[in-house]
Structure 1
Amino acid sequence: MNKEIRSDKRIKNIIGIIQSCLILILIFLIVFMIIQINRLQGTARVINYAGLVRGATQREVKLEITGNQKDELIKYLDNILSGLRYQEGQYDLVKIHDKEYQDKLRIQSEYWEKLKTEIGEVRSKGYQNTDIVNMSEIYFEMADETVFAAENYSEKIAIKIRTIEFLSALDMFCLVILIIMQTLTAMKMAMNNKLLEQKAYTDAHTGLPNKDACELLLNTPEKVKESTACMMFDLNNLKIVNDTMGHSAGDRLIMDFAQLLRSVIPEKNFVGRYGGDEFMAVIYHTSKTEVEELLKSLYREKDRLNSNENQIQIDYACGWAFPDEDGAYTMQMLLDKADVYMYENKQLCKKRKI
């Protein structure tokens, strides 16, 4: 039993260590997920503004072709592209750490400078004498590729987030399993401890509470209630049985007497083996009349058992006591009083035999 308890404790400690590691991993995954979500939100904003650049540039070219100069629109596009490349300006744009996207954005930004030069040519020469339309289409494709690269990067982050979600769910599932295992181990340990405690306070031969259990009850400092009686029993013929019939017969006599006490005295009351041939009982919520009737029942059951030819004859001395009306008795004091009466009864039994 002790080896099993030590094994359960080791298992509990191992589960505790694994549980702590899983909690740390879960914290790391949650923090990493928050970072990725923030990055995804920033990327979504970049995709949005990259798309705005694509559409607004086409609008600017159309306006210039129709003779409507929009320097503020050009400045707006400059600011967005600068924000996309260097996180400058008023748009609070994040930098996407992706080589494909950065290469596409750099090429688009460089071509934008060429497109602005061509817009200047449109203003001075007219669009018929420039390559503005063709350059606008090329720029649109470049902007489209930049947006596509940003979307690919966003999808990579989304995949990371889904992976983290799966790992977090798996981690939490493992934690739940460990908590269940830990609970079952704790319940098993509690049950084993209870069994050990019962074993420590149980007489192995009779199954009754042993001397330690009796002492635990007797050492209770509370005063005994008036409705409580304490009984002391002593087997009169145990030594004779041991000497003439052997110790196995003596053990059988002790067992028979223990069964006699437990069969007659109601289960709610305490019955214990106080020593080798001494037993004690505590009767709760009783009266002197009920105790006397209980003793009569014990004598009748003893006589019935002794009438069996194969039965080792049971003979015992008994003493019992109630607390005085002043209620000043502890359980130990009450047992001492019952022990005195039991000794007197034992002496009386010896005189009768003489």
Structure 2
Amino acid sequence: MRNMLKFGLQTLFLLLVLLGAGTIYSIIQSQTYGRLINYVGIVRGATQRLVKMELAGQPRDVLVVYLDDILHELLTGDGPYGLIHPSDQEYEKNLSRLNVLWGKLKEDIRAVRKDKTASGVLLADSEAYFELANKTVFSAEAYADRQISLLLQLILIMALFLLLTWLFILWAYSKKMLLLEHLSKNLSDMTDRDALTGAYNLERFKREARELIRADETARYAVVYMDFADFKYINDVFGYEYGNAILREYTRIIQNELGDKEIFGRVSADNFVILRRYEEKMEVMARQRSIDAMITDFMSRSQNKQTVPVCCGICCIEDAPGDLVIENLLDRANFARKTVKNGVHANYAFYNESIRDKLLEEKAIVSQMQEALNDKEFVVYYQPKVGLSSGAIACAEALVRWKKADGRVIAPDKFIPIFEKNRLISALDQYVFETVCRFLRRRLDQGQPVLPISVNISRLQFFREDFVATYAGIKDRYRIPDGLLELEFTESIAFDNLAFLADIVNQLKRQGFFCSIDDFGKGYSSLSLLKSLPIDTLKIDRLFFLDSDDKEKDAILVESIVGLVRKLNIRTVAEGIESQEQVAFLKSINCDLVQGYVFFRPMPEQEYEAAIEREREREPLIQV
């Protein structure tokens, strides 16, 4: 196609050049037609004057020579006057006869000069010459008219070709622009799509969704936000290739099911969003159930035969009156999805007033977070850990509470996830850590006994480039002796990057910190990971100690974990212990420390100090 356009343009250009050259030549030639007619007219008029003067006895040989020159040039096209010799039969015949008659007139003039009585013949021949000269002028004019007519036709043809050329160029340009527009649209579409699944990315989804909602604000739309309940398990256990295959298949199923004026996109990882049209709300859930049943069937038919459920949050525009901002609708649908993942609903949840209240509460917390940090509204509580061998408080964990100016206390599970979401958790981590260092420094300066204290490290804090330097700097600024500070990391960090965690732990230990893994067993823990991590303490998650139908199996697992970890010279802490029966079991399997309501709840600083003082005056909490 491109070669054809190029050849067509070259051909039209060549034809235009040829037509243009012919037109220019014809225009130049047309200028000579007037001169030709003029000089033929001169021959006619000058000859009549010559005859009159000869008859009057006034010879004019100069005029004879002048007429000879003109006639010669008219006949041959060769001479000083720039006359052409047209190829016209009628003109050439008249001009030839005129030249013969001119020769006769010259003989008559010579005769009259010798004998005045011969003037009658000269007069008669001059009349005949005049008539023939008239015919010659008319034939020259007719020839000129025909040539000018041809020139006009040529100009019209050239104008037509010029028009065709411009039309062709315009057509070719338009076609090229359409092609470029198509390529640009395809390129834009490619950049707006997720590389793995081919679904729209979040930004493209939001643009398309805005247009659809704006185009028909009376239509009933719902934003559906979904992800898999524990997709990390799929990736960790069966590999990313299988996980990616699930995501691609899920995308294919959704795209095949999409209706008119609906849009679908991938947010990130295993998170997807759909803008749905509906008549009745339950249609949205029914369609989503059908989709999820197909992906579940796909997983169950795979070689692994392992399935994970889909969690779905739905926000109907009618349930968010007056708010058509797609970002807000996505937030609401996502918030509803989180209630599913937190176990409040079974797989599917519509955004409603109760969820709205939670969202408003979250937004209120967000609006107050920075100010609360600045005003030091966060209070550090301490929960002692009791040594099973000594029966006494051995150390403590620092926990944070948000105490408002009006006395209200906001629980950690209310604000910590919001701090993490808004990337303020690092500032809170450092605030707690520095408060602990200040507390230890005060007791050391007062000569009071101190016990090691552990503080939690969030994922965001851990992955900061200056994490180790910042914490070591605070420790040094308060001159805290080595061995009094322990940093707790969640087991999920180990799964993200085991080698990186091991390197960070080694750096921290060189700075005098103890390190521990928190919530062990909450996810898909692997005991084999512990041989690669130079940690000091392993905290066994409270899930192992909750009432369940598998208490015997839980006990076997805990005993195995404690026994293996002791061989690696790692201390064990059992979290969430609430009964003496659990304490007795843990003591029997040689667990090192217990932490829970059975002995102490988290307490403010002054109460913790009082508890330490009481330790000196009473019997051990556990009979040793």
Which residue is 1:251 aligned to? 250
1:303 aligns with 2:312: no
How far apart are residue 249 of structure 1 and its match? Answer: 11
- Cα separation, 2, equivalents of 1:169 and 1:110: 45
Structure 1 residues 249 and 166: CA distance shift in structure 2, 3 A: closer
Return the offset for 1:127: 5.1
| Cα contact 2:77–2:83 (8 A) shared by 1 | yes
Residue 200 of structure 2 corresponds to 207
Partner Cα distance (2:154, 2:50) in 1: 43
Q: Which moved more, 1:196-205 or 1:57-66?
A: 196-205
Deviation at 1:89, TM superposition (A): 3.4
Whether the 8 Å contact between 1:241 and 1:250 is mirrored in structure 2 is no
User: 2: distance between equivalents of 1:135 and 1:57?
Assistant: 11
1:161-212: CA deviation from partner (whole Å, max 9, x where unpaired): 1011111111111111111111211112112222333454423553128xxx
Aligned length: 270
Corresponding residue for residue 157 of structure 1: 147
Distance 1:84 1:52, change over 3 A: same
Q: In the TM superposition, what are the counterparts of 1:208-227 in structure 2 within 5 Å?
A: 208=201
Query: Which residue type is aligned with residue 28 of structure 1?
Result: L
Bigger drift between 62-71 and 234-243 goes to 234-243
Per the TM alignment, residue 256 of structure 1 is displaced from its structure 2 partner at its CA by: 8.0
Aligned equivalent of 2:127, options 137, 140, 153: 137
Q: CA RMSD in A?
A: 4.3
- Residue 115 of structure 1 is matched in structure 2 by 105
| Correspondence list, 1:13-28, <5 A | 13-28=3-18
1:43–1:96: 8 Å Cα contact kept in structure 2?
Answer: no
CA change 1:34–1:127 in 2 (3 A) is farther
Q: 1:343 pairs with 489, 496, 501, which one?
A: 496
- 1:182 equivalent to 2:355? Answer no
Q: Which has the higher contact order (CA 8 A, sep 6+)?
A: 1
* Structure 2 match to 1:6: none
User: Counterparts of 1:14-53 in structure 2 under 5 Å?
Assistant: 14-53=4-43
Name stretches of at least 5 consecutive residues in structure 2 with no aligned partner. 203-226, 239-244, 255-263, 275-330, 350-419, 422-458, 467-491, 502-517, 525-540, 545-624
- Structure 1, unpaired ranges of 5+: 1-9, 210-233, 264-295, 326-338
Q: Secondary structure at the match of 1:120?
A: helix
Question: Per-residue CA shift, 1:98-128, capped at 9, x if unaligned?
Answer: 2221111111001100011111122122156
Query: CA-to-partner distance for each residue in 1:66-109, whole Å, 9 max, x for gaps?
Result: 11111111111111111111233322322212222111111100
**Match of residue 159, structure 2, among 141, 157, 169:** 169
1:26/1:171 contact within 8 Å kept: yes
Contact 1:122 1:130 in 2 (8 A): no
The 2-side partners of 1:248 and 1:73 are apart by 108
Does residue 238 of structure 1 match 2:231?
Answer: yes
> CA–CA distance in 1 between the matches of 2:13 and 2:347?
68
| Structural mapping, 1:281-296, within 5 Å | none
Structure with the greater alpha carbon radius of gyration: 2
In the superposition, the TM-score normalised over structure 1's length comes to 0.63
Q: Partners in 1 of 2:73 and 2:186 — Cα distance?
A: 74
Query: What percentage of residue pairs aligned between the two structures are identical?
Result: 26
CA contact (8 A) 2:55 2:119 kept: no
Aligned residue in 2 for 1:267: none
Secondary structure of 1:258 counterpart:
strand
Cα distance in structure 2, aligned partners of 1:241 and 1:256: 21
User: Per the alignment, in what secondary structure is the counterpart of residue 350 of structure 1?
Assistant: coil
Partner amino acid, structure 1, of 2:250? D
Conserved 8 A contact 1:65-1:127: no
